[in-house]
Structure 1
Amino acid sequence: MGLVTGVCTFLYHFPQIYKWLLKPYYIASFLMTVAFPVVRKAPGLCEHLATQREDGNSCDFDWREVEILMFLSAIVMMKNRRAITLEQHIGNLFLFSKVANVILFFRLDIRLGILYFTLCIAFIMTCKPPLYMGPEYIKYFSDTTIDEELQRDSRVTWIVEFYANWSSDCQSFAPVFADLSLKYNCAGLRFGKVDIGRYGEVSQRYRVSTSPLSKQLPSLLLFQGGQEIMRRPMVDSKGRAVSWTFNEENIIREFNLNELFQKAKKLSKGRGLKGDHDNSPQPSEENDADTNTTESKKDQ
């Protein structure tokens, strides 16, 4: 059933996948993902490879390789059960396929294993996944502007994402947070982001760890009157993040976005609160938002 669902999801999103594969990051990832099957099946090359098959056919997978590939499929399906976006589904496939390829190449020939592992290291160091550059109503903070903006008007509620560009979870969450900002942004309810991978002092000030082991990236904090009201994921007494799924439904429910949005709209009308953006997109506002987004991400 999981396989059928995966195939249906792939076919439904195929136009988006096709566009992604035109980008260098995804082209390189795809080639590295299929590297071992291509080498094992390539005419003129596979005849010279070692094999443990009883029939001696070195151009087909042996039983151990089939076992590793089946285990890879099971791991990818398990990880994708918690995936939120299509980027995460494809990212999990690329990641665990590369790990499996390293094992398969080392098992086949240590020279091929070293070569493939070296290519993986070079890929990680030189090729980064593309940043989300779609529409959003999000204010990007720096270490000098975040405190001032959060405390500027006590009537404004802020939902701020603390993220790092190197975090794959943050990159996958970007379109989800952007979509929420388009739906719920108004003068009294604003959305912001701060790159704590770049501004280390901010991470210390707001107690959000950038360590991959802490699993606090991304973190969403709700501010009212400049004071933190809640955050997700929560952090236990040992400084470890409590597991929490960053999907749109969970965020709307946990942060009471529908209620906050209605209160913010009433507050804006009652007190004449004016913000940079209204919830309904207008040409001039959209241009300002896109310009702000582009400038912020160019600097990062």
Structure 2
Amino acid sequence: MALLTPLFAFLYHLPQVYKWLLKPYYVASIFLAVAFLLVRKSPGICEHLPTQREDGNSCDFDWREVEILMFLSAIVMMKNRRAITVEQHVGNIILFSKVANVILFFRLDIRMGLLYLTLCIVFMMTCKPPIYMGPEYIKYFSDKTIDEELDRDTRVTWIVEFFANWSPECQSFASVYADLSLKYNCAGLKFGKVDVGRYGEVSKKYKVSTSPLSKQLPSLLLFQGGKELMRRPQVDKKGRAVSWSFTEENIIREFNLNELYQVSKKLSKGKAEKVAELKFPAVPEEGELEAEPNGQDVVPETKKDK
């Protein structure tokens, strides 16, 4: 099942996947992911490679290389059990394929290992994954506009994503959040985003850590009248995010979006109190939460505020 789920998801989204797989970033990533396979199977090259096969066939995998590839497959299947989007599934495959390639090339020849590792580092430093550019009803905040917008109309409920462009989790979540904004944006319910990797003071004010170790990115905060009502993921005493899956279903359920939307789209003067009556989990005080063991009336706004 762990293998069939990403396969069915991939086939369902194949037309969309086809478009972004042809982007230079993914073309180069796929090439790096299959580099060892190409070297080992390319006539004219493989004949000159060392091998531990008993038959001396250097154009086929030896037993140790098969073990490494099988271990890679097991790791990818385990990681993909928690993947949300097709991008995450493909990203996991590419990432761990590169790791396996490093091991395989170093085992084959230290010079080839160093060359491949250098190519991966150069690629990582010079190429960034393409940012989601699809349709959305999302307002992009800066450090100077977020407070003003949240306090502008106390009748409006805001769901704000705190993200950073360098975070793979935020990049994968972008399409999910955009889809939610298209479905639920209305006069009284709006969606926003703020880049805490760029505006550090915002992250400090709203207590969203940008450290990769804290795993707090992305964070979704719900505001009513400028006040925070809830956030996901929650944070434990050590400042680490409690494990929470950013699926569309989880967000709709936890943020009570269906009921919130029905109330918010009827927004008019004097009806703000109905929104306030919706029940949300209380926001725990800092350090109060214990760690769990296991863990957009608006026109589309797609330009970022400067």
Give the structure-2-normalised TM-score.
0.89
SS at match of 1:267: coil
Q: How many Å separate the matches in 1 of 2:180 and 2:269?
A: 22
2:84 aligned with 1:65, yes or no? no
- One-letter amino acid matched to 1:190: K
Shift of 1:4: 3.8
- Give the drift of 1:268: 3.2
* 1:223–1:31 CA distance, 2 compared to 1 (3 A): same
Match of 2:206 in 1: 206
Structure 1 CA distance for aligned equivalents of residues 166 and 137 of structure 2? 22
Is structure 2 residue 304 aligned with structure 1 residue 296?
yes
Tell me the residue number matched to 1:188: 188
Give 2:297's aligned residue. 278
Aligned partners of 2:236 and 2:130: how far apart in 1? 33
Match of 2:277 in 1: none
**What do the CA deviations read for 1:148-185 (whole angstroms, capped 9, x no partner)?**
10011111110000000000100000010001001111
SS state at 1:57 partner: coil
Map of 1:134 onto structure 2: 134
- Kept in 1: contact 2:141–2:194 (CA 8 A): yes
Which deviates more, 53-62 or 211-220? 53-62
RMSD (Å) for aligned C-alpha atoms: 1.7
C-alpha change, 1:5 and 1:154, in structure 2 (3 Å) is closer
Q: CA deviation at 1:194?
A: 0.1
One-letter code of the match for 1:296? K
Counterpart for residue 102 of structure 2: 102
User: In structure 1, the residue corresponding to 2:84 is in which secondary structure?
Assistant: coil
Shift of 1:10: 2.9
Q: Match of 1:241?
A: 241
The CA distance in 1 between the partners of 2:49 and 2:2, in whole Å, is: 34
Deviation at 1:269, TM superposition (A): 7.5
Deviation at 1:14, TM superposition (A): 2.4
Q: Does the residue aligned with 2:266 lie in a helix, a strand or coil?
A: helix
Is the Cα–Cα contact under 8 Å of residues 234 and 241 in structure 2 kept in the other structure?
A: yes
Q: C-alpha distance in 2, partners of 1:265/1:4?
A: 39
Give distance in 2, aligned partners of 1:68 and 1:256: 45
1:267 aligns with 2:286: no
1:17-57 deviation digits (Å, cap 9, x = unpaired): 22122100000001001100000011111111111111111
The one-character-per-residue Cα deviations of 1:163-219 (angstroms, maximum 9, x if unpaired) are 000001000000100010011111111100000000000000100011100000000
Question: Residues 224-251 of structure 1: CA distance to partner in whole angstroms, max 9, x if unpaired?
Answer: 1100111000001110100000000000
Partner of 2:275: none
Post-superposition CA distance 1:30-86 (Å, at most 9, x none): 100110000001111111111111111111001111011111111111111111111
Aligned to 1:253: 253
2-side partners of 1:99 and 1:34: how far apart? 11
Equivalent residue of 1:77, what SS?
helix
Q: Return the alpha-carbon distance in structure 1 between the equivalents of residues 304 and 156 of structure 2.
A: 22
TM-score (norm: length of structure 1): 0.90
Distance 1:130 1:252, change over 3 A: same
Aligned residue number for residue 8 of structure 1: 8
2:2 and 2:80 in contact (8 A); partners too: no
In structure 1, list runs of 5 or more residues that go unmatched.
280-284
Deviations 1:262-286 (A, max 9, x none): 11123337669xxxx738xxxxx3x
| Separation in 2, partners of 1:262, 1:193 | 23
CA distance in 2, matches of 1:46, 1:61: 11
1:176 and 2:195 aligned = no
1:86 aligns with: 86
* Count of aligned positions: 283
Distance, in Å, in 2 between the alignment partners of 1:102 and 1:176 is 33
Task: Flag the 1:57–1:217 CA change in 2: closer, same or farther, 3 A.
Answer: same
What runs of 5+ residues in structure 2 fail to find an aligned partner? 273-295
Q: Cα gap change, 1:231/1:103 in structure 2, threshold over 3 Å: closer, same or farther? A: same
Partner SS state of residue 209, structure 2: coil
